[in-house]
């Protein structure tokens, strides 16, 4: 059973890394979820898999055939922390999409380079709107430099 967990962890990790490297914010989030699940699977498998054994010691105090409860507690804690991380990252991704209008990392980097390019509501202008604004500024500056004005 541990070998199956190891193979599954490797496949999930490869998928998570592939998603993170895809340069899309939403795919990055899904990759983060997959890698978080891989960490949980590795912690759970490291405690050893004892099928059909409870994680509690009976009244007799005999410890034979009892599952290790520490990895189970660590996985439960990691699930809660992972859920908080995913919720926070999803909120950031939603806010970035609302203000920038895209989830592609390259376009987000372009919007950082043109800092200060905001609309009347404080949102970041799209690439087309920014180009139109720059053309209008160029025309206005050329008209103001003419000697007859």
Tell me the per-residue pLDDT of 69-96, one tens digit each, with 9 for 90 and over: 788 889 999 999 999 999 998 998 898 8
Question: What is the average pLDDT across 107-117?
Answer: 64
Q: Are 70 and 47 in contact (CB under 8 A)?
A: yes
Number of separate domains in the chain: 2
39 and 97, same domain (yes or no):
yes
Answer whether residue 139 is part of any domain: yes
Same domain? 27 vs 95: yes
Residues 27 and 72 occupy one common structural domain: yes
Verify that 83 and 145 share a domain, yes or no: no
Q: Are residues 76 and 142 in the same domain?
A: no
Q: Is 72 among the domain residues?
A: yes
User: For the chain, what is the radius of gyration of the CA atoms?
Assistant: 26
In this structure, are 80 and 143 located in the same domain?
no
Residues 87, 132, single domain; the answer is no
Does any domain span residue 128?
Answer: yes
Average pLDDT of the chain is: 80
Distance CA 80, CA 99 (A): 29
Alpha-carbon distance of 104 to 97, in angstroms, equals 9
Residue 61 lies in a domain: no
Give the per-residue pLDDT at 83. 92
119 and 147 in a single domain? The answer is yes
57 inside domain: no
Summarised one tens digit per residue, pLDDT across range 21-62 is 988 888 999 999 999 999 999 988 887 777 766 666 667 766
Dihedral sign for Cα atoms in the order 85, 87, 90, 92: negative
Domain that residue 92 falls in? 1-49+68-102
Section 14-23 average pLDDT: 93
**Is 63 inside any structural domain?**
no
Q: Which of 81, 99, 103 is nearest to 29 (CA)?
A: 103
pTM above 0.85, yes or no: no
């Amino acid at each position: 059973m541990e070998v199956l967990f190891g193979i599954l962890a490797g496949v999930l990790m490869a998928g998570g890394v592939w998603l993170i490297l895809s340069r899309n914010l939403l795919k990055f989030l899904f990759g983060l979820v997959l890698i978080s699940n891989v960490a949980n699977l590795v912690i759970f498998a490291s405690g050893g898999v004892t099928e059909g054994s409870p994680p509690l010691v009976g009244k007799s105090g005999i410890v034979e055939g009892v599952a290790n409860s520490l990895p189970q507690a660590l996985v439960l804690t990691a699930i809660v922390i992972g859920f908080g991380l995913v919720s926070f990252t999803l909120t950031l991704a939603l806010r970035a999409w609302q203000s920038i209008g895209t989830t592609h990392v390259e376009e987000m980097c372009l919007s950082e380079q043109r800092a200060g390019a905001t609309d009347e509501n404080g949102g970041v202008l799209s690439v087309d709107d920014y180009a139109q604004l720059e053309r209008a500024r160029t025309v206005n500056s050329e008209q103001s430099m003419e000697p007859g004005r």
